Structure 1
């Protein structure tokens, strides 16, 4: 029989309730400890306001906001990877570097996707 982690939550509504507060704790920790996350939240807020006032379709607004939200999601995953690597060891190791670099590359690709999406929507709408 596999050992069950004491950190595993219960089932049903209690699980949903506790998971919500774990998520809030995650947002707080990312806001407090991750400079890139704070910058991307600022970009997300500004971009969301701009997308909502642009004269584009509702679907285009959703896509513009969605790619900015995707940047935040990937940044949280990247921060998670970095935290686990640092928890395991602060020693320099090629595999640790790879893990962190891969996460960073994922964030970069997501930012490029957001830039391309915004460029295409704005170009097709206004030029």
Structure 2
């Protein structure tokens, strides 16, 4: 095989930039899905978040919310889940790096848990502000 044939064969085997990009994105989705499954499987509060989220979404459809009301509802749902994911991640890292109880490790875990609590409280307030008036009308209160 001459040099040009070898070069052509090598170039055919080299993946394109598009293929590399798509593989990289596919791996990113795979890792994110694995993280989501871990949170759902191991975190009791994730089940509570899931149940409340499904109820809020169902009620929002029933009330036929306006577009910007949907935006508010979806943003706070996303905020709670994001806080939960970061909290779980931080707890795992702290547990790995500091297996024995350390006051600063506990502070990190407590602050991350407080972020989830704060996000959930804000979500409840937004839910009341957005859904409350619609529910009063729909239920005739």
- Name which of 95, 100, 103 aligns with 2:112: 103
Aligned to 2:23: 14
- Hey, what's the Cα distance between the residues in 1 that align with 2:45 and 2:30? 23
1:45-56 equivalence runs, <5 A: 45-56=54-65
Aligned to 1:5: none
- Name which of 79, 83, 90 aligns with 1:81: 90
Rg: which structure is higher?
2
Residue correspondences, number? 117
1:1-127 equivalence runs, <5 A: 12-125=21-134, 126=136
Instruction: Check whether the contact 2:60–2:131 (CA below 8 A) recurs between aligned residues.
Output: no
* Unpaired segments ≥5 residues, structure 1: 1-10
Larger RCO, structures 1/2 (Cα 8 Å, 6+ apart): 2
TM-score by length of 1: 0.83
Segments ≥4 residues shifted beyond 6 Å: none
TM-score by length of 2: 0.76
- Hey, what's the Cα distance between the residues in 2 that align with 1:63 and 1:19? 27
Q: 1 or 2, which has the higher helix percentage?
A: 2
C-alpha RMSD of the superposition? 1.6
* Unpaired segments ≥5 residues, structure 2: 1-19
